[in-house]
Amino acid sequence: MGLRIHPIARDWRRNRAVGATTMGSELGPHRLNLIDESLTGRYSAWIRDALDDLPDNFLITDPYISGHPIVFASRGFLKMTGYSREEIIGRNGRIFQGPCTDRRSVSEIREAIRGERRLQISLLNYRKDETPIWILFHLCPVFGEEDGRVIHFVAVQVPIIRRSRGWRNREVDCSGRQEIFFGSCRREVGLDSVGELGLSLPFDSYVDSDNRGLEAEESCEAGDLEKQKAATAISNILSVLMHYSKLTGRVVCEEKCNSVGVFPLDSSLNISLGRIKQSFVLTDPYLNDMPIVYASDAFLSLTGFSRHEVLGRNCRFLQGPETDVETLCQIRESIRSARACTVRILNYRKDGSSFWNFLHISPVRNASGKLQLGNSCICGVHSHRCSSSCILWAL
């Protein structure tokens, strides 16, 4: 029996193919460095080998990098989905979603990420060859012990095996290799999730030539076996991450802790800020020495510093021997009085090279008029080349 595929489904397939072929060109050297540093800077250079020894199917993502990309994919996950590691790393996990992915499940995952909490949910994903696969999706945030901010999200995915309700009463694989569901699917609900762990949203429908078909949304609930597998996998992964983070002194934990009195940005704001392509940082003057609490990818590229070298420090590390003292006094007075300021200042990169900045500072207030955020923009001029950046800080 022939199949007549809905045009929207064809568009989805075409977009997946185009995305797979263009991803390599999108991962420039700086972004690749950020992705590599996301793991090695926190856990040591041996972390990938240690994670590769685990048999589980899982992804690790970094909400601090623009687009919330995947920074690690396990061998088991690659085998389950049919992708190569090069096709996955640096991409958002939405590539595994498809026409029949349930929007309510997508919303639940999105809210869990925003709330920085754990979640277990049954989810319909798609392999590289476009066959559907029902999984138990277990999400777990990983926190930095020193400041309580979310460092990574771990997403374990366990294939669900269920007992068929139909003929022969046999065990069937919910992956869809034995039966492909065609039927009513929901339309995409929006892309404001900033791509949390991969949540591409559904399209309209598939129909066969007789306008018949099985419900693609027919639920496939996980049993105790799958839930236990997911819990064990999370425990093993967290143990590896905590062990290797101790080697660098930048310890991670599974529970949020603000013992040092620092209140980090939540993941929702981190991901939203990641959409901004300019160079910027967010600092908090209510904390001692007004430390940086967020640094954009473009800012790191402009200055040459890594994220862990920037977070928690005052912006004065950009100053150097020829930075004008009078200009610094003007900036300090602007911050003290919470008013706008625009200056031209000489700053320095990590390698010691200098660049001229066109710096704009302006406070941001909430609805009641209380100072909340300050916004400053930098235009760096060096060797007749101009680059722009934006700095934000909490007031």
SS3 sequence of 166-202: CHHHCEEECCCCCCCCCCECCCCCCCCCCCCCCCCCC
- Domains of the chain, by residue range, sit at 3-253, 276-394
Q: Identify the residue with better confidence: 228 or 192.
A: 228
Distance CA 82, CA 214 (A): 25
pLDDT at 14: 53
pLDDT category of residue 52 using cuts at 50, 70 and 90:
very high
To which residue do tokens 């989805």 refer? 12
339 confidence band (pLDDT: 50, 70, 90): confident
Is 205 a residue whose pLDDT tops 80? no
Nearest Cα to Cα of residue 199 among 101, 84, 60, 81: 101
Give me the residues paired with residue 282 across strands. 294, 392
Exposure string for 139-154, b = 16+ CB within 10 A, e = fewer? bbbbbbbbbbbbbbbb
Average pLDDT over every residue of 204-221: 43
**388 has pLDDT over 70:** no
- Tell whether the model's pLDDT for residue 389 goes beyond 60: no
CA dist 309 to 245, 300, 304, 305, 314, Å? 16, 10, 10, 6, 11
pLDDT bin (cut points 50, 70, 90) of residue 9 is low
* pLDDT-derived band at 16, boundaries 50, 70, 90: low
**pLDDT tens column, 73-112:** 999 999 999 999 999 999 998 899 999 998 899 899 989 9
- Average pLDDT of the residues in 50-60: 96
pLDDT of amino acid 279: 79
State the average pLDDT for the chain.
75
Pick the CATH number of 276-394 from 3.30.450.20, 3.40.1280.10, 3.40.50.970, 3.20.20.70: 3.30.450.20
Residue type at position 240: V
Give the DSSP letter string of 274-307: TT--SB-EEE-TTSTT--EEEE-HHHHHHH---H
Note the pLDDT of residue 373: 52
Highest mean pLDDT among 4-18, 37-51, 173-187, 332-346: 37-51
Lowest mean pLDDT among 18-32, 108-122, 340-354: 18-32
Strands (E), 82-224: 119-126, 132-144, 150-159, 161-163, 171-173, 207-208
Identify the pLDDT of residue 119.
94
In the prediction, which pLDDT does 375 show? 45
Instruction: Identify the pLDDT of residue 210.
Output: 33
Confidence (pLDDT) at 180: 38
Looking at residues 292-313, what average pLDDT do you find?
83
The domain defined by 3-253 folds into: Beta-Lactamase (3.30.450)
Give tens-digit pLDDT for 180-199. Answer: 333 333 333 333 333 444 43
Q: How far is CA 122 from the centre of its chain?
A: 21
Cβ(252)–Cβ(151) below 8 Å: yes
Calculate what percentage of the chain has a pLDDT beyond 70: 67
Position 393 pLDDT exceeds 80: no
Higher per-residue pLDDT: 393 or 224: 224
pLDDT at 19: 52
Burial of residue 100 (number of CB atoms within 10 Å: 0-12, 13-18, 19+): buried
Position 380, amino acid = G
1-15, 99-113, 138-152, 242-256 — which is least confidently predicted?
A: 1-15
Tell me whether domains 3-253 and 276-394 share a fold.
yes
pLDDT digits 0-9 by tens, 234-255: 999 999 999 999 999 989 998 8
Spatial distance between the Cα atoms of 276 and 269, rounded to a whole number of angstroms: 11
- At residue 367, the pLDDT reads 65
pLDDT of residue 299: 85
Residue 222 has pLDDT above 70, yes or no: yes
Instruction: State residue 202's pLDDT score.
Output: 32
Q: pTM of the predicted model, to two decimals? A: 0.64
